[in-house]
Amino acid sequence: MPSNERRKQILKGLYDGVVAFDEDSVVEFSKAAIGEGVDAYDALMKGLAVGMEKVGELYASREYFVPELLLCADALYAGLDILRPHVKGGGSEESGKKIVLGVVEGDVHDIGKNLVKVMFDAAGWEVYDLGNDVPLDRFVEEQQKTNADVVGISALMTTSMLAMPRVTKMIKTRNPNVAVMLGGAPITREIATSYGADGYADNAGEAVEEAGKMVQMIQKGETAHN
Amino acid sequence: MARFNGRDRVLRAVNRQEPDVVPTMEIDIDQRVIDAIQPGLSYADFCDYMDLDAICYYDMKGKKYETVDEAKGIVRDEWGALRRFTRVSRTDPLPVEPAVKSPEDLNTLVRADPDLPSRYTEIEQAVRTYKGKRAIIATVLDPFTTVAEIIRGEVNLYVDMIERPDFVHEVNAIARDYHMRYVTNCIDIGVDAIWVTGDYAMTKGPMVSPTFTARFLTPGLKQIADYCHSRGVPCLKHTDGNIWPIFDLLVQTGIDAIHPIDPAAGMDLGEAKEKYGDKVCLIGGVDCGALLSWGTTDDVRQAVKEAIRKAGKGGGYVCASSNTVHSGVKPDNYVQMIRAIREYGKYPLSFA
């Protein structure tokens, strides 16, 4: 076991590496965490994930933009690849939760969806990423196959957004207990609600929190509409 | 006031002068909306039927694709990028794989031919039919967008901006050469304006920082704008999204007009008019999301009146949707939008 001081140093190294999109540094500190006996889950959540939260803040305050976010995500995944195999049993309230993600058919703009995926990965969710230009019935099939708690659907264009009420209805008809979350440039909370969705995320950082709330509501037998 | 034709109206507005009435035009109108209003008309004939002031042509016309996998709808475009036709993308295939997957691929990049005659067939036809009556506008993809969506791929390009900036300049130059040649050809044919399309921003803000915007995005736009001006032709720019942080940079390129001032992205015609109305013409501002898709005709008429009140004073405004008249727009809403523009947009404005 490392000293408390060394443990803090490793966690800070992971945090700083993600924020500074320094992939080499993240790899180095991830290996150090495993080699020196830092709990892998702690390293992941208190180092990498907290770093990614900071990145989300920097993006929201327009200090970071899409290029910086992409490189931060690369750094995060470099650490996840090393740490994840060493995580014992899960042990967090987020572990075991599952989400299906995808961009609706006719739309290939998936950078936003990929950033949402990063945040869910960082938070310990199991993510089933269908990619972009996803036929509507694929969302239904994948939810049923994985028994995911949440289906997150994204659209960048007003034209592709128009498919969202249909796919939301298809998912809810097949399984009323799955939460549907919508996001993307033309979507607002009002539009998401009018489309029959359970939730909406304004940005990648909010998506994880929103999804967690939706799962809780559904478990309590509530919906966004009652 | 003298009565102008569509071409004069657009050109006066772009020059920030008052025409007889606020002009209107759309960069694209979905065929389903056209068919619901006047079945069977082409886009150009529909513009004529609705008495719109301009006819706009995409440089997507005349593209050639080589079939790669017929069953999956996968084709190779003129740059060597793979694209896919789908049920909802029957005419404009979606990107699958960029032409330059790794920097080394640049050495073997196939250059699309800007002189391909088929690119210009429809523009030539429009010039023959409508020249002097309506503004004929050639749209051209922003060199940045060609690099992002075709040559290099968005994610690769954004990473390149940080990791290999010189390479970005090299690829940008290839795209610029192509588009400059296309613009030259269009002006030679006789178009009245060039409209550079391609987004610099998303709903919440620019895709890249103002520093990167100035370094990698706006130089290509400025080169096109400078060339247009050397030929006496105005240069318009379209970009979706919230562009407040980079509005100054766009204006500094010398563009004559900016579109679409999307209220759903936090853009406001009144604020844009106040800050930049003495430098650029504003185009757009009528919400094509909730308003034109689900609003009532009264809502639409009020929105048009409000848009003209905010931006019409003194000229320098073309009233249009906040992006395109897409397939979800209620046809009757679009008809009412045009009627309201003609009714409320007469100069001198009575209420602005």
Report how far residue B311's alpha carbon sits from residue A155's, in angstroms, rounded to the nearest whole number.
30
Nearest CB to A62 within list B86, B205, B288: B205
Q: What is the predicted pLDDT for the residue at A226? A: 41
* pTM (2 d.p.): 0.88
Query: In this structure, what token pair is assigned to residue A135?
Result: 């036929």
Nearest CB to A67 within list B86, B87, B208: B208
Closest CA to B277 of B229, B239, B318: B318
Decide the pairing of beta strands A199-200 and B54-57.
Answer: unpaired
Nearest CB to A158 within list B94, B204, B326: B326
**B135-171 pLDDT, tens per residue?**
999 999 999 999 998 999 999 999 999 999 999 999 9
Alpha carbon of B207: minimum distance to chain A alpha carbons (Å): 6
pLDDT over threshold 60, residue B40: yes
Size of interface A-B (CB pairs under 8 A): 73
Mean pLDDT of B59-78: 84
Percent of chain B topping pLDDT 90: 86
Which distant-in-sequence residues (6+ apart) come within 8 Å of B185 by Cβ? Answer: B114, B115, B119, B120
- Which ranges of chain A have pLDDT less than 70? 89-95, 222-226
Q: What is the mean pLDDT of chain B?
A: 94
Report how far residue A49's alpha carbon sits from residue A26's, in angstroms, rounded to the nearest whole number.
12
Domain boundaries, chain B: 6-62+116-344
Which domains does chain A possess?
A: 4-86 (1.10.1240.10), 98-219 (3.40.50.280)
Mean pLDDT of B15-20: 96
Note whether B88 contacts A: Cβ–Cβ < 8 A: yes
Q: Read off the pLDDT band of B59 (50, 70, 90).
A: low
Note whether B110 contacts A: Cβ–Cβ < 8 A: no
**CA dist A207 to A180, A218, A225, B322, Å?**
12, 16, 19, 27
Cβ contact, residue pair A186, B288, below 8 Å: no
Three-state secondary structure call for residue A140: helix
Report how far residue B77's alpha carbon sits from residue A48's, in angstroms, rounded to the nearest whole number.
40
Alpha carbon of A74: minimum distance to chain B alpha carbons (Å): 10
Determine the straight-line distance between the first and last CA of chain B, rounded to whole angstroms: 17
Beta bridge partners of B24: B319
Secondary structure string (H, E, C) spanning A150-218: EEEEECCCHHHHCCHHHHHHHHHHHCCCCEEEEECCCCCHHHHHHCCCCEECCCHHHHHHHHHHHHHHH
Q: What is the predicted pLDDT for the residue at B190? A: 97
pLDDT over threshold 60, residue B309: yes
Least confident of B26-40, B48-62, B288-302: B48-62
Report how far residue B97's alpha carbon sits from residue B203's, in angstroms, rounded to the nearest whole number.
26
Note whether B180 contacts A: Cβ–Cβ < 8 A: no
Q: Return the number of other C-beta atoms located less than 10 Å from residue B116's C-beta.
A: 14
Cβ contact, residue pair A203, B203, below 8 Å: no
CATH number of B6-62+116-344: 3.20.20.210
For testing contact with chain B, the best of A64, A66, A105 (most B CBs within 10 A): A66
Nearest CB to A65 within list B203, B208, B326: B208
Cβ contact, residue pair B159, A71, below 8 Å: yes
pLDDT over threshold 70, residue B106: yes
Beta bridge partners of B236: B195, B257
pLDDT over threshold 90, residue B346: yes
Note whether B122 contacts A: Cβ–Cβ < 8 A: no
Q: DSSP characters for B42-87? A: -HHHHHHHTT-SEEEE-TTTT---EEEETTTTEEE-TTS-EEEEET
Q: DSSP characters for B139-197? A: EEE-HHHHIIIIIS-HHHHHHHHHH-HHHHHHHHHHHHHHHHHHHHHHHHHT-SEEEEE
Report how far residue B12's alpha carbon sits from residue A143's, in angstroms, rounded to the nearest whole number.
55
Mean pLDDT of B292-311: 96
Note whether B91 contacts A: Cβ–Cβ < 8 A: no
Cβ contact, residue pair A133, B84, below 8 Å: yes
Q: Return the number of other C-beta atoms located less than 10 Å from residue A226's C-beta.
A: 6
Amino acid identity, residue A141? E
Least confident of A3-12, B78-87, B213-222, B227-236: B78-87
Mean pLDDT of B334-338: 98
Note whether B289 contacts A: Cβ–Cβ < 8 A: yes
Measured between CA atoms, the residue of chain B closest to residue A183 is B203
In b/e form, how buried is each residue of A99-137, taking b as 16+ CB within 10 angstroms?
bbbbbbbbbbbbbbbbbbbbbbbbbbbbbbbbebbbbbe
Give chain B positions within 8 Å (CB) of A185. Answer: 202-203, 240-241, 265
Q: Return the number of other C-beta atoms located less than 10 Å from residue A223's C-beta.
A: 15
Q: Please say whether the dihedral angle defined by the alpha carbons of residues A131, B75, B120 and B146, taken in this order, is positive or negative.
A: positive
Report how far residue B56's alpha carbon sits from residue A204's, in angstroms, rounded to the nearest whole number.
36
Note whether B84 contacts A: Cβ–Cβ < 8 A: yes
Note whether B276 contacts A: Cβ–Cβ < 8 A: no
Note whether B1 contacts A: Cβ–Cβ < 8 A: no
In b/e form, how buried is each residue of A10-42, taking b as 16+ CB within 10 angstroms?
bbebbbbbbbbbbbebbbbbbebbeeeebbbbe
Query: In this structure, what token pair is assigned to residue B20?
Result: 């007889």
**B165-188 pLDDT, tens per residue?**
999 999 999 999 999 999 999 999
Identify the H or E element spanning A120: helix A111-122
Closest CA to A149 of A79, A198, A88: A198
Residues in chain A: 226
